[in-house]
Structure 1
Amino acid sequence: MAGPKWEDLQTDCLVNILTIVGTESLLYDIPFVCKSWYRASLDPSCWKIINFQEFVHRPPLTNEYLKLIINRSRGNATSVMPPTSCPDEVLRYLADECPELKALCLPSVMGKNSSFVLLEVISKWKNLELLKLGSPYSVHMEKILEKILEEISLHCKNSCHLEIVIIELFWREVVSAIVTFLPNIKYLYLRDGFIDQESLEIILQGCKELCAFVFYGLKL
């Protein structure tokens, strides 16, 4: 006697499983298994976590296709990892369509335009808790980064987790901005560049509520 079939699994159970398979599989694998899996893959609950950075081995997705994927969440996305080169139009669309976002993990290098757009839209994510930022590559960009942190302090009251890529040229300025605008940060992850003892002391003295302070790839 044949056992139960996967396609007969209750939809709510199947949706719970599909929430952890990854964005790429939800697009290119799951819908083609059977009709019930296809229907389950359309449930907005499957798209609360959207990771465009999984698509490294595929041709770049068009703006319209990126928007279509974002729209699958029906505004319920809580965690998004934009593509390496995130178009300004898509970043703005993400801000408008996903106001409940709690985690935003940007690529490791911040482009000039995307940084300006982030500064423009960051205030729309009132529930943002985690932000991963790339590195500035010019003095002009470093000032934008400071402004982004200031906007977070003003509009994202739940913000408690910051991961940022640092380059040696702007280390002191970024440390100063973190302590000034995010003194209540609980989880701080710093990557690359150079850190000296004085900067460490500034962070530890200025951010009294730190639960985890991790710096990796940094030179002491």
Structure 2
Amino acid sequence: METKCRVEEEEEEEKIQKEICSGISSLLSPPLSLPPWTELPDDVTINILQRLDVQEILEKAQRVCKTWWRACKDPSMWRVIHIESIVLAFFDPHKLEMMCHEAVDRSQGQLIDITIVDFATNDLISYISKRCSHLKCLSLVRGDFLSQTFIYAFENFKELEKLQLLLSPIFPEDIEYIGNSCRQLKSFTYCCSDKMEKSCALEVAKSMPNLHHLCLIGDMMTDQGLEGILDRCLHLESLDIRRCFNVDLQGNLGRDLSAGVEEGSYNEAQRKSPNLRNDPSLSPSPPLPKLQPQETIPIQKIQSLLCKIIEDKMFFSDAIELAKMAENL
């Protein structure tokens, strides 16, 4: 009897052991069918993954499966890079810089557009310039630039067309150096986080004649600097000079701009005035409401609207605001 019980126990243990082994085997073996997303074309997979930020791609997405790993290694995945410190409480500039290095390396020289927020350094910009000579767009926000390494890096950005600098002050001569190095620049934005001591308007006018869009926020320019920009940057389609409080429009330039508003378009003022050269490449602005002549107009109130020659889709609304303001004077 005891022998029979012992045999039954041994058989039961053996059965349980087989079930355990079978279960472990099933867990370790690959699934019978692959996940459905692995059957997507590579270009579709890359298009989907590009919607993630750099950190999510490098730390999570590329580890999901072999298909995504392969897609995340494709240079076309890294033609556009936007990287910033999302949560400042966990801000690790060294980690972000290493991620940026990895993203730039994976692009294999195909990078055309990069935005760096909060952690860009001289060495990082130099690193990018040596590996991405076909860069078209560069945006730097709140970086730390202290040496000429940053300025000299632009020698390698011969194809750069759009540059946005929202950071600490840069010397006007450095702005001119950047312009002379990047002769294909069509859009330039510079907003200084601190009060500027000198204007860079004339340096922009001399070194960036092919600009279509210019934004100089908080610059110390005077009427002379503004006139220099209008005289030399003949392809301008939009001009933003917010917080440029030294522009007072009290001379010929002010009369020319005022005449442009009264006549209905800035291009008309260009045609009539020798101080504002006409350029046939400029598209005509929409018609503006005609203002009633005023003997005295407080320039301080409307100078930003007169100076801000902006894109067609926004110009009309600003003109209406200007007209309403003039009616109340």
Q: TM-score range by the shorter chain?
A: 0.7 to 0.9
Cα contact 1:123–1:152 (8 A) shared by 2: no
Q: Which of 191, 198, 220 does residue 165 from structure 1 map onto?
A: 191
Gaps of 5+ in 1: none
> Corresponding residue for 2:94?
61
Gaps of 5+ in 2: 1-34, 246-303, 305-329
Residues of 2 paired with 1:24 and 1:82: CA distance? 13
Task: Tell me the amino acid that sits aligned with residue 11 of structure 1.
Answer: D
Higher alpha-carbon deviation: 70-79 or 12-21: 12-21
Residues of 2 paired with 1:121 and 1:196: CA distance? 30
User: Structure 2 vs 1, CA of residues 7 and 32 (structure 1 numbering), >3 Å: closer, same or farther?
Assistant: same
Cα contact 1:122–1:148 (8 A) shared by 2: no
> Corresponding residue for 2:26?
none
User: Structure 2 vs 1, CA of residues 61 and 156 (structure 1 numbering), >3 Å: closer, same or farther?
Assistant: same
The 3-state SS of whatever aligns with 2:188 is strand
Residues of 2 paired with 1:199 and 1:157: CA distance? 20
2:125 is the counterpart of 1:91: yes
Comparing both chains, which one has the higher relative contact order based on Cα–Cα distances under 8 Å and sequence gaps of 6 or more? 1
> Corresponding residue for 2:105?
71
User: Structure 2 vs 1, CA of residues 49 and 92 (structure 1 numbering), >3 Å: closer, same or farther?
Assistant: same
User: Structure 2 vs 1, CA of residues 205 and 152 (structure 1 numbering), >3 Å: closer, same or farther?
Assistant: closer
User: Structure 2 vs 1, CA of residues 106 and 150 (structure 1 numbering), >3 Å: closer, same or farther?
Assistant: same
Residues of 1 paired with 2:243 and 2:50: CA distance? 32
> Corresponding residue for 2:155?
123
User: Structure 2 vs 1, CA of residues 106 and 45 (structure 1 numbering), >3 Å: closer, same or farther?
Assistant: same
TM-score normalised by the chain length of structure 2: 0.55
Cα contact 1:83–1:107 (8 A) shared by 2: yes
The 3-state SS of whatever aligns with 2:205 is helix
Structure exhibiting the larger radius of gyration computed from Cα positions: 2
Cα contact 1:23–1:54 (8 A) shared by 2: no
RMSD: 2.8
Q: Which of 62, 74, 79 does residue 31 from structure 1 map onto?
A: 62
Query: How far 1:78 sits from its partner (Å)?
Result: 0.7
Q: Which of 50, 63, 72 does residue 19 from structure 1 map onto?
A: 50
Residues of 2 paired with 1:156 and 1:8: CA distance? 43
Summarize the alignment of residues 32-51 of structure 1 with structure 2, pairs less than 5 Å apart. Answer: 32-51=63-82
User: Structure 2 vs 1, CA of residues 218 and 109 (structure 1 numbering), >3 Å: closer, same or farther?
Assistant: farther
Query: How far 1:6 sits from its partner (Å)?
Result: 2.0
Residues of 2 paired with 1:40 and 1:109: CA distance? 31
State the number of aligned residues: 208
2:164 is the counterpart of 1:132: yes
TM-score normalised by the chain length of structure 1: 0.79
Query: How far 1:127 sits from its partner (Å)?
Result: 0.7
